[in-house]
Chains A and B, each alone.
Chain A
Amino acid sequence: MQRLVVLAIASSLFGAACLESRLDRVLTTPDQIQTLDHRSPYLKVHMKDGGLYLLSKWQVDGTTQQVSGEGDRLGLARETIGSGPFAVALADVALLETNVLQRSPSAAALTVITGASAVMTAVCIANPKMCFGSCPTFYIADGKDAMIQAEGFSSSVAPSLEARDVDALYRVPASGRELIITMKNEALETHVVRRVRLLAALRPDGGRVLATLDGDFREATDLRSVETCHADEGDCVAKVRAFDSDERFSPADGEDLASREMIELQLPAIDGPRGLVIASRQTLASTYLFYQSLAWLGRSASDALAALERADATVGGGFIRLRTAVGGIEVIAQTTSGAWVPAGEVREMGPLATDIVAVPLPADATGRVRLRMARGHWRIDYVASARLGARVEPVAIEPWSVTGTDRFQLSQSPLTSRPLTTLPGDVYTYTFQLPSNAARHELFLESQGYYLEWMREEWLAEENAARALQLVLNPEQLLRDIAPEFKKQEAGMEALFWGSKYARR
């Protein structure tokens, strides 16, 4: 890292050296002496006979029609004929030449890049954990731009945690017979992708198909946004009434990262089985916790992951306790008896792509619902109610081609039998053939695999055996202890991360 800082500084020094590298040379006839640029440190006086005066401290006297200064007089071969102060009659002058150094626009542009880059370097030195993404990201073009639509198996940080992840492609218009999905590895990670395929579920008339927490797919009709939404900050209905990337989120608690908050919702009245529809994703708090944990583990991180692979009860237990302490979005519904009963817990992992799911509510639910979650850990884009209908069995669509960025294609065995291992910067394009009536299908992206986070040199500086032990033995206390430090970085972390193109939505 120190070497990179030196590079950044060296780069800046180049900038300083390069800024004034353009020369603005202007030739003026003696009758236009009033236009001479006096910023020119030298005045070249081209004589009618071909001689030349090179003058510094020059001045032009319009009254006496003379130009004067100190310097050299040169002949046709530009040999020096004399030196000293000179006064030359304008009548003998053919042209007056000024030369002014100017800033190079190219160097100025690089200076801007250098400034931004230096800020990024400084930020990353101060907090390396802010500068990395996670898990495979999936982009789909909407006709103009490729937008991130899903992130795969975010919590599968070890082979033993390999998982299947289903993300709704809710905002992808399925028109035409082909869908192209780009999968990227945009982090310092190794991704092992066992499967990427589409699930296509036939929509009911006027409705959608939504995944539920238990992995089912249900018909959803009469989708209507919430009538009221109240949180600590006040009315939040404007933030959650549409799936429009305008999200409701709150800052983390400064004393306990597991501290809970509550959102009160009133759903519109709907006949029949009702479900709460919620589109959400995590904030960067979970990413921070994960990377900070790796930093504390330091050189023993691989030992901890190996213990996880061996199903070590202590390490595995600590991992589960930490996840439980942070928790998901608990959906709690009021029933006609007045009791509040848990309906489910949304745990869509990852801070990049928003996923939408349905949480079936009790048959006697009144329509009043509470969302309970750790402060500062969740971003909620959309909350609605829907009438949940029959279960739907989606059709699996395997990709008919997968192309790497080098454009080579191999006609080998399907990915389902051979995992694809990707490294940082790898990009793969999956092409799917859609059903003939694609517009009537709800599409989901199913991915399966795991990823291995790369240990960064900067993280090793934060190796802390005591914290690592606390992580395993008492993660609840750990979340309290590190809350103040997290709060110091929280605002900048979000701004930096979402200010990047990665946040394009």
Chain B
Amino acid sequence: MRDVNTRRCVLPLVVLAVAATCLSGCAHNTAPPGWHPPALVALRSTHGGWIRVEGTVLIEGELIAIDQSAFHVLTQSGFQSVPRASVRRITLTGYGNRARTLALWSALGGASALSHGFYSLFTGPTWAVGGIVASLKEKHASIWHDADVAFRFARFPQGLPPGFDPQTLGALPDMAARGQGNRGQ
């Protein structure tokens, strides 16, 4: 005969699970603060999105353009072109998502399930599962790894202009990289 004493209260754990899982999911974003504006702000954005290019080199910065031969990125050290053949993976953050908000929403909703008494055994997990799935989906909704989609969030989606002089762009301000810069939005 075996016997176990399990002491647990489902609902607080459910709420914690929603909050912890979703918030940890939200934290996985390669763009610095200030480079994932909400969709409403990104409507008017005149700059490119934040791109992380991984390959023989690792660079991050504003996506200037993508063409047949290279990814063109404005980094803190200046304009850089990375040959596509050397790139293993890109991560483009087009705009900010509301995953964190959805997580908080789910946590509050999960907490409100405490008022459901017996039914909280159903509504609590519903909030937990729904919150986790919704937050994760939302988190990935504005992040792309496909160059054929990412180019839409380049400063020059049409490609580098004829006679383009990279020096006109300068370098990405350090303060902007830390999310304190004005992106002209």
Chain A residues within CB distance 8 Å of chain B: 1, 4-5, 7-8, 10-11, 14-15, 17-18, 20-23, 25-27, 40-42, 44, 46, 48-50, 52, 54, 74, 76-80, 94-95, 97, 99, 101, 104-107, 109-110, 113-114, 116-118, 120-121, 124-125, 128, 131-133, 186-188, 398-406, 408-415, 418, 420-428, 456, 500-502
Given the known inter-chain contacts A46-B158, A399-B1, A415-B1, please indicate yes or no for A124 contacting B115, CB distance below 8 A: yes
For B137, give its contact among A7, A101, A106 (CB under 8 Å): A106
> Are B122 and A501 touching (Cβ within 8 A)?
yes
Jot down 10 A-B pairs with beta carbons below 8 A, ordered by A: A8-B112, A25-B94, A26-B152, A76-B168, A107-B105, A120-B123, A420-B3, A420-B5, A423-B8, A424-B10
Once the chains bind, are A401 and B43 in contact (CB under 8 Å)? no
CB contacts (< 8 Å) of B137 on chain A: these are 105-106
Q: Quote the shortest CB–CB distance from A232 to chain B (angstroms).
A: 31
Q: A124 to B133, alpha carbons, bound, how many Å?
A: 27
Known: A77-B169, A107-B138, A409-B4. A117 touches B127 (CB 8 A): yes
Instruction: Determine how close the nearest CB of chain A comes to the CB of B147; give it in whole angstroms.
Output: 14
Which residues of chain A have C-beta atoms less than 8 A from B43's C-beta? 23, 40-42, 99, 101
Chain B residues in 8 Å Cβ range of A502: 118, 122
B117 lies within 8 A of A188 (CB): yes
Given the known interface contacts A4-B111, A54-B46, the answer about A124 and B158 at a Cβ–Cβ threshold of 8 Å is no
What are the residues of chain A within 8 A of B35 when measuring CB–CB? Answer: none
Per CB-CB distance, the 7 closest pairs between chain A and chain B, nearest first, are: A50-B161, A131-B117, A404-B4, A404-B6, A425-B10, A94-B158, A106-B134
Known: A110-B131, A423-B8. A132 touches B46 (CB 8 A): no
Q: How far is the CB of B64 from chain A (nearest CB, A)?
A: 10
Chain A residues with CB under 8 Å of B46's CB are: 44, 52, 54, 74, 78
User: Out of B1, B8, B130, which one reaches A413, CB within 8 Å?
Assistant: B1
Q: Is B20 an interface residue (CB 8 A)?
A: no
Q: Which stretch in B26-34, B83-91, B95-103 binds the other chain? A: B95-103
| B55: Cβ under 8 A from any A Cβ | no
Main DSSP-derived SS at the B contact region = helix
- Give the most central of A48, A106, A132: most B CB within 10 Å: A106
A66 to chain B, nearest CB (A): 19
The answer on a CB contact under 8 Å between A411 and B2 is yes
Which A residue's beta carbon lies closest to that of B7? A423
Known pairs A107-B102, A405-B6 / 15 extra A-B pairs, C-beta < 8 Å: A21-B39, A22-B39, A50-B161, A99-B42, A106-B141, A110-B105, A117-B116, A131-B118, A133-B118, A404-B6, A405-B8, A406-B4, A409-B4, A413-B1, A420-B3
CB neighbours (8 Å) of A428 from chain B are 4, 6
Which residue of A has the minimal Cβ distance to B184? Answer: A78
Closest-CB distance, B143 to chain A (whole angstroms): 12
**A409 and B101 form a contact (CB under 8 A):** no
Q: Given known contacts A27-B157, A121-B115, A186-B118, is B97 in contact with A21 (CB within 8 Å)? A: yes
Evaluate contact between A113 and B127: CB separation under 8 angstroms.
yes
Total interface residues in chain B, CB < 8 Å: 67
The interface residues of chain A lying within 8 Å CB-to-CB of B3 are 402, 409-410, 412-415, 418, 420
Are B109 and A110 in contact, CB atoms less than 8 angstroms apart? yes
B109 contacts A11, C-beta separation under 8 Å: yes
Q: Least Cβ distance of B170 to chain A in Å?
A: 7
A8, B109: Cβ atoms under 8 Å?
Answer: yes
Chain A residues contacting B97 (CB-CB under 8 Å) are 21
Q: Count chain B CB atoms within 10 A of each CB in A50, A74, A107 and give the residue with the most.
A: A50
**In whole angstroms, what is the CA distance A282 to B112 when docked?**
30
Q: How far is the CA of A470 from the CA of B131 in the complex (A)?
A: 47
CB-CB nearest in chain A for B42: A23
Question: What residues on B are CB-neighbors of A415 within 8 Å?
Answer: 1, 3
- Chain A min CB distance to B11 (Å): 8
| Residue B142 interfacial (CB < 8 Å) | yes
The CA-CA distance from A114 to B119 in the complex, in Å, is: 14
Least Cβ distance of A46 to chain B in Å?
A: 5
Q: How far is the CA of A54 from the CA of B184 in the complex (A)?
A: 12
**B40, A20: Cβ atoms under 8 Å?**
yes
Most chain A Cβ neighbours within 10 Å, of B109, B123, B130: B109
Chain A hits for B123, CB < 8 A:
116-117, 120
Whether A124 contacts B141 by the Cβ 8 Å rule is: no
Min CB distance B6 to A, Å, is 3
Provide the bound-state CA to CA distance between A99 and B152, in Å: 11
Closest chain B CB from A83 CB (angstroms)? 13
Q: Provided the pairs A101-B43, A423-B8 are in contact, do residues A5 and B115 lie with their beta carbons within 8 angstroms?
A: yes
Contact B38–A403 (Cβ < 8 Å): no
Residues of A within 8 A of B94 (CB): 23, 25
Please determine whether B134 and A4 come into contact, CB atoms closer than 8 angstroms: no
Question: Cβ of B98: which chain A residues have Cβ within 8 Å of it?
Answer: 17-18, 21, 104, 107
**A74 CA / B168 CA spacing, docked (Å):** 13
* B contact residues around A4 at 8 Å (CB): 111-112, 114-115
CA distance A40 to B40 in the complex (A): 11
Candidates A8, A109, A412; contact of B130 at CB < 8 Å = A109
Q: Chain A nearest CB: distance from B156 CB in Å? A: 6
B47 surroundings in chain A (CB, below 8 A): 78
Contact of B102 among A18, A42, A118, A401 (CB under 8 A): A18
B2 near A403 with CB under 8 A, answer: yes
> Which residue of chain A has the shortest Cβ distance to B156 in the bound complex?
A50
CA distance in complex: A186, B10 (Å): 10
A52 contact set on B, CB distance < 8 A: 46
